Structure 1
Amino acid sequence: MGRKVLLVEDDKGIATVITEALREEGYDVTTCESLARRDALLANQGFDVMLTDVILEDGDGLASIDRVRDVAPDMPVIVLSAQNTLDTAVRASDSHAFEYFPKPFDLDELTQAVRQAVANRPSASGGEEGEDSALPLIGRSPAMQGVFRMITRVLRNDLTVLVTGESGTGKELVAEAIHELGARKTGPFVAVNMAAIPHDLLESELFGHERGAFTGAVSQQIGKFEQANGGTLFLDEIGDMPADAQTRLLRALQSGRIRRVGGRQEIRVDVRIIAATNRDLEPMIADGRFREDLFYRLNVVPIPLPPLRERREDIGALVRHFLGQAAAEGLPRRQVSDDAIAALAARHWPGNVRELRNVVFRLALLARDDLVDAAAVADCVPMEQSRTGSERQDGFETALDAWLASHRPSAGTLYHAALAAFEKPLFEHAMRETDGNQVRAAQLLGINRNTLRKRLSDLEIPPDRFIRPR
């Protein structure tokens, strides 16, 4: 097995760490800091794998991959980047890079990738440089970098994708990115929200109808499947689909054919399916509300999106991006201070990225100075949404003191009386915070899902009450 590695990295600290790790694995590592030195080394030596940074002192290490392919067409290339956008991951994929690692990366994973690259030695051919993506999928957090890497893996195929995540996390943006950056970008992108269409009209909306198929069908209508022919059909809020429509959707996915309502002829359609939901489909399968076979048909490539509270390190980049958007839409151009970013990062963000965008646009409109600081955040964001953990704890203790003052349980019953008084609001809070998702509510409470279901029943809390209408 080949052991010669070329590392193109101008950060001496990172280069030293990688070099030492690979040499411990028995690799012969040669390092350089520029494209000119890289090209000279490749012209005079043979290497089994190359690791390259993107931004180097004399150019773009990714944009110049074609020069590397001319000299070493079969050498695997592993891309390292400190960039925080989806565009870099897509460019790495378009350049047929063996693997892409955002910085900071896991050193063990990088070492394993080098091992696999050397062992597999896949053939590589030059690819066109990827187009710049204007889609606001931003994040250097490990969770978002994982999303980017999953997106790049489905761009060159038509595998069905299921995007999951809370409301406001950007599920439609992921679907648009897969379409706009993938092989079907010249075809139509058609989105349909299952929750926004009356159940009795859903099949007509998806598959179309013939004239006279039902009362009010005064003319033929082409459905979303036919509209998306040759492109991508995005089925948003798939968990809200009624059972009878699920059956027809499954049949269409299995056969690649649809039939308009009231029609006799089957029509072949060529569409890529991307579905999305903010619901946990597995409990719905157990309850008989979602077909198990349809779930497996949709869940070929799952892409879970993290809530904003689990990627707080991305909030700064998102805020700056949204301030730029706001300026482009005619609002005052603003800068943002570090203390403002910290104040925004301290929030819970139940509405996720969508909520953050709305707050940033509000700040762009209402801030008194060109620099948005923590004081501007306090002025524009309601106090009850910005309370610190200590303030919330003080509020809980005040409420408990008030309850104890107004209730005098007999000796030996205080614990159970207090538990009975506070348990129901606690469970209601967990369900409200998770939009009625029992799996996440159980995780939030730190209990088993079966225990949650039993306590909801015992406390007479209707679970469906907390599911937000879509």
Structure 2
Amino acid sequence: MSARILLADDDSSLRLVLSQALAREGYAVRATASLSTLAKMVRDGEGDLVISDVYMGDDCLFDVLPGLRAQRPELPVIVMSGQSTVLTAISAAGAGAYDYVPKPFDLDDLLEAVRRALTRGPEAKTRALAAAAEREERLPLIGRSAAMQDVYRIMARSAGTDMSVLIEGETGTGKEAAARAIHQFSKRKAGPFVRLSLAGAAGAAATEALFDAKGDAVQAVNGTLFIDDVDALTPDGQTALERFLDRRSEDHAGDARILCASSQPLGALALEGAFRPDLYYRLAIVTIRIPPLRERLEDVGDLARAFLVRAKREGLPEKCIDGSAIELLKTHSWPGNVRELENLLRRVAALRPEALITAREIVGELSAARVDAHPVGGSQETIEDLLKPRLAALLANAGPEANVYDQAVAAVERPLIELALQATRGNQIKAAGILGINRNTLRKKLQALGIRAGAGD
């Protein structure tokens, strides 16, 4: 007998596409646009699997899911949602969902989730991680990109366990925020969250002292110990941490969950002999990689708006940001990641008088950021990197008939020809050769652009 799937979504097109795809896989599908109808089907014992959207009309799946799970604990539920935030992922797991699939999704990924759900026993279902956070609470992490969805899934599945988690990512990506989110939604949330930063530890003795019987690490009893910059541990410090972990295993009164953060790939350091492999495997039972901002530029808008709200809450003037500014922000490579973006917006909120932040306000800040990131004598940006913010600003301020293409070409062409003539001391033949155009073409451009040049020989 084929597996029976209950499908609930108020989008008729999506219901049709999913129903057909599931039927092609051999499943028997019953579809509905109503959560109340879905709840009745579940109570009546129908279905071997549920696939449901979170919101249908005024109804929310998370309001009814705990009751359905209590009635049918063996029934796996796959949650779909267009509200693709870490809160949605953790709320889904906290309500007892088997898996969470953000919209838009790859159909093959959903079908694979269906196969996994139908072939695993009830004992393998996702553990409820925590009660859903209140909606007014601030999200610990922000972003709806595909890269962040992977982060949310791993966080949601690991939050309710006591497994050690290694959080890797470049400086400024939000590793501590991820650690705090895991603690916030764990069974240890009532206990302390203790952060130890090893980057500034003054010498091996000080590092070892953090983990001795009276050190700071023991303050995390029955809570979470977050070890930041674990890649900075000296060999003696690594030994001290291993001894601390051994004591933790032997003495449950001193129990603390371990979360670590590293700006370098810790596995690579272990292979190179710079980090103890046995300690690495103890710390990295679960590994979460926080992507750099340049790999999730689609999140820049959500992040920017959130940072301006945060700045207002901290006493800075209220600001809004428009689409032109966000598009311009997306042209930056963000070597300082999320932290750099937040600092830039705080600076704009504090120093700019305008209530609405547009591309005009952002251009200068990004130019300064590029100078800081690429000082004279250091690595230089490409011509494309340098042009992007200016072109983005040109597009942002253009009207419907602005002829931006010709403006952009002219803006680049004039200084290019002028510099070529300067380099050849006004010799048009040599300048044309450098530019890769013939002399007559160069003369026409000089005339069109109003550039005065030498005789040309």
The correspondence for 2:143, drawn from 125, 139, 144, is 139
TM-score by length of 2: 0.76
* 2:100 maps to amino acid: Y
1:130 and 2:132 are equivalent in the alignment? yes
Residue equivalent to 1:448: none
The correspondence for 1:205, drawn from 202, 206, 210, is 210
Cα distance in 2 for residues equivalent to 1:154 and 1:128: 11
**1:162–1:301 CA contact under 8 A, matched in 2:** yes
1:38 and 2:38 are equivalent in the alignment? yes
Cα distance in 2 for residues equivalent to 1:384 and 1:126: 44
**2:52–2:79 CA contact under 8 A, matched in 1:** yes
- After superposition, the C-alpha distances for 1:301-323 in whole angstroms (9 at most, x for unaligned) are 11111000001111111111111
Residue equivalent to 2:77: 77
Matches within 5 A, 1:222-371: 222-256=214-248, 269-371=254-356
The 3-state SS of whatever aligns with 1:104 is coil
Displacement after TM superposition at 1:151 (Å): 0.6
Cα distance in 2 for residues equivalent to 1:75 and 1:232: 32
The 3-state SS of whatever aligns with 1:382 is helix
Cα distance in 2 for residues equivalent to 1:284 and 1:327: 41
Cα distance in 2 for residues equivalent to 1:275 and 1:338: 37
Displacement after TM superposition at 1:194 (Å): 0.6
Cα distance in 1 for residues equivalent to 2:329 and 2:303: 11
Provide closer, same or farther for how the CA distance between residues 8 and 227 of structure 1 changes in structure 2, counting only shifts above 3 A: same
**1:335–1:372 CA contact under 8 A, matched in 2:** yes
Cα distance in 2 for residues equivalent to 1:93 and 1:126: 5
1:169 and 2:173 are equivalent in the alignment? yes
Cα distance in 1 for residues equivalent to 2:347 and 2:173: 19
Provide closer, same or farther for how the CA distance between residues 189 and 111 of structure 1 changes in structure 2, counting only shifts above 3 A: same
**1:281–1:290 CA contact under 8 A, matched in 2:** yes
**2:166–2:283 CA contact under 8 A, matched in 1:** yes
Provide closer, same or farther for how the CA distance between residues 349 and 130 of structure 1 changes in structure 2, counting only shifts above 3 A: same
Provide closer, same or farther for how the CA distance between residues 368 and 15 of structure 1 changes in structure 2, counting only shifts above 3 A: farther
Cα distance in 2 for residues equivalent to 1:127 and 1:300: 18
The correspondence for 1:390, drawn from 377, 381, 384, is 384
Displacement after TM superposition at 1:188 (Å): 0.9
Displacement after TM superposition at 1:60 (Å): 0.7
**2:307–2:342 CA contact under 8 A, matched in 1:** yes
Residue equivalent to 2:186: 182
Residue equivalent to 2:65: 65
TM-score by length of 1: 0.74
Farther off after superposition, 157-166 or 57-66: 57-66
* 1:198 maps to amino acid: A
- After superposition, the C-alpha distances for 1:167-221 in whole angstroms (9 at most, x for unaligned) are 000111111111111011111111011111112211112225xxxxxxxxxxxxx
Matches within 5 A, 1:13-52: 13-44=13-44, 46-52=46-52
Displacement after TM superposition at 1:166 (Å): 0.2
* 1:375 maps to amino acid: R
Residue equivalent to 1:159: 163
Cα distance in 1 for residues equivalent to 2:171 and 2:292: 9
Matches within 5 A, 1:84-99: 84-99=84-99
The 3-state SS of whatever aligns with 1:195 is coil
Provide closer, same or farther for how the CA distance between residues 49 and 248 of structure 1 changes in structure 2, counting only shifts above 3 A: same
Which sections of structure 2, spanning at least 5 residues, go unmatched? 372-380, 388-411, 425-457
Cα distance in 2 for residues equivalent to 1:378 and 1:366: 14
Displacement after TM superposition at 1:2 (Å): 4.6
**1:162–1:275 CA contact under 8 A, matched in 2:** yes
The 3-state SS of whatever aligns with 1:380 is helix
Runs (4+) off by over 6 Å: 123-128
* 1:250 maps to amino acid: E
* 2:313 maps to amino acid: A
Cα distance in 1 for residues equivalent to 2:249 and 2:40: 56
Cα distance in 2 for residues equivalent to 1:333 and 1:225: 40
Residue equivalent to 1:105: 105
Farther off after superposition, 223-232 or 161-170: 223-232
Cα distance in 1 for residues equivalent to 2:152 and 2:362: 30
* 2:175 maps to amino acid: K
Farther off after superposition, 67-76 or 102-111: 67-76
Cα distance in 2 for residues equivalent to 1:127 and 1:349: 33
The 3-state SS of whatever aligns with 2:26 is coil
* 1:24 maps to amino acid: R
- After superposition, the C-alpha distances for 1:77-132 in whole angstroms (9 at most, x for unaligned) are 11111113211111111112111111122211211211222233526799974223
Cα distance in 2 for residues equivalent to 1:170 and 1:9: 34
Cα distance in 2 for residues equivalent to 1:365 and 1:26: 60
Alpha carbon RMSD of aligned pairs, Å? 2.9
Provide closer, same or farther for how the CA distance between residues 10 and 233 of structure 1 changes in structure 2, counting only shifts above 3 A: same
Displacement after TM superposition at 1:39 (Å): 2.9
Displacement after TM superposition at 1:384 (Å): 6.0
**2:90–2:129 CA contact under 8 A, matched in 1:** no
Which sections of structure 1, spanning at least 5 residues, go unmatched? 209-221, 259-265, 406-470
Cα distance in 1 for residues equivalent to 2:277 and 2:122: 37
**2:54–2:80 CA contact under 8 A, matched in 1:** yes
* 1:358 maps to amino acid: N
Cα distance in 2 for residues equivalent to 1:391 and 1:289: 36
The 3-state SS of whatever aligns with 2:199 is helix
